[in-house]
Amino acid sequence: MSTHLYITSSPGEMRLAVTENNCLVDFALWRPGAPDGVGNIYSGCVTAVLPSMGGAFVHIGQDIDGFLPLPQGSQPLSEGQRITTQITRAAQKGKGVRLTLINTTPKDPIGTCLSYGPTPLERLANQWTHASISVDSPAVAARIPHHLRHRRIPGFLTPPEDIIAACENLEEEEISLPKGMRAIITQTPALTAIDIDAPPPLGNISKHTAQYDMNVNAFPALTRHIRLRNLSGAIVIDPAGVASRKRQALLTPICTALKADPLRPRCLGITSLGLIEIVRTRIYPPLTELYTSAHGHALRALRHIVCHMPQITRLRCGIRILKALEHDTNALAECATSIGHPITLCHDPSLPAMHWIPEI
């Protein structure tokens, strides 16, 4: 089995695509200017202890505050106390980072990062230990850690066109599934809802049997997309066609399909409405959130400039795009290197916060 990890770059962002026999099986975004911080260890300071919430808020520097759960019976903390913590969950869905306690006697100044967690590249490379690594530019090659360089294929390669298309489709809400089926993903602040649709059954097979078989055949592809898009937290799936009272039979095949996911999502059962309930560990932001954030929109603007408008010299933008690019100055510098000249940022109060207009 041929396993490959492709790294393709654009200003401020690298797309990491893992393929097995030319099929996309894993995906991540690596944005050095906006790291998720998971695994980083900091010297912090307790800013508030909230027994009603079962935890405390901790300041870890750089305007970052995280929540530290304190299980019943754990060592009590006090406001102003200095502690050492590690980020276990990235900021997402409007909530800050989640922390875990390392020790209560730090020696370093508040806000000091004592060690960094793995990058998205290192995480994928550790999960897919037999994957060879390809890059599309010398700049990307220079970012590969020394302990992974022996896995790099010489030269510069881009993924096949069908893999590029599969990666781009991860931004869409609709998923194509086997046998002409499809699924619509709707993400809310509370949960992710997935509605599966199926075409009318063909042949002499009974409607119930055909619908059951189509759902079972679709589950491996659906759970692969859950992983590719990093959907997490509470997930509910509405299968196609099968009567609610007969959906309990789908429990075993969906549990089997979930076993391939390294985060080990749990299927909690089938509700009275016939919905499949799944819980998947929430560690990293879902792909949709990364694409639709202000930083995601800003990087999309730079990618569009490099690919389609390299002649522009000025970018008028709304306030959130402006702040995102001012925060990630490396992305703007990489764009300037790609097009051969600098770009001037200009805040335009008349533009919506997430809009931008290029000018020559």
Q: What is the pLDDT of residues 290-333, one digit of tens each?
A: 999 999 999 999 999 999 999 999 999 999 999 999 999 899 99
How many Å apart are CA 195 and CA 186, to the nearest integer? 8
Residue 257's pLDDT band, with cuts at 50, 70 and 90, is very high
Residue 76's pLDDT band, with cuts at 50, 70 and 90, is confident
Q: Token digits for 62?
A: 């750089």
Confidence check: pLDDT of 129 > 70: yes
Predicted confidence (pLDDT) per residue in 265-293, tens digit? 999 999 988 999 999 999 999 999 999 99
Confidence check: pLDDT of 84 > 90: yes
pTM of the full predicted structure? 0.90
Confidence check: pLDDT of 211 > 90: no
Residue 48 pairs with which residues in a beta bridge? 57
Q: What is the pLDDT of residue 357?
A: 93
How many Å apart are CA 118 and CA 73, to the nearest integer? 31
Confidence check: pLDDT of 206 > 90: no
Residue 1's pLDDT band, with cuts at 50, 70 and 90, is low
Of 204 and 29, the one with more pLDDT: 29
How many Å apart are CA 86 and CA 103, to the nearest integer? 10
Q: What is the pLDDT of residue 205?
A: 66
- 20, containing H or E segment: strand 13-20
Q: Do residues 38 and 284 touch, judged by C-beta distance below 8 A?
A: yes
Residue 199's pLDDT band, with cuts at 50, 70 and 90, is confident
Q: Residues with Cβ < 8 Å from 220, sequence gap 6 or more?
A: 257, 260
Predicted confidence (pLDDT) per residue in 136-156, tens digit? 999 999 999 999 999 999 999
Residue 204's pLDDT band, with cuts at 50, 70 and 90, is low
Backbone angles phi, psi at 347, to 5 degrees: -75, 130
Of 139 and 244, the one with more pLDDT: 139
Residue 38's pLDDT band, with cuts at 50, 70 and 90, is very high
What is the mean pLDDT of the segment spanning 116-138?
Answer: 96
Q: Residues with Cβ < 8 Å from 179, sequence gap 6 or more?
A: 198, 199, 214, 217, 218
Q: Do residues 339 and 310 touch, judged by C-beta distance below 8 A?
A: yes
Q: What is the pLDDT of residue 343?
A: 93
Mean pLDDT over all residues of the chain?
92
DSSP string, 53-111: GTEEEEE-STT-EEEEE--TTSPP--TT-EEEEEEEE--BTTB-EEEEEEES---SPTT
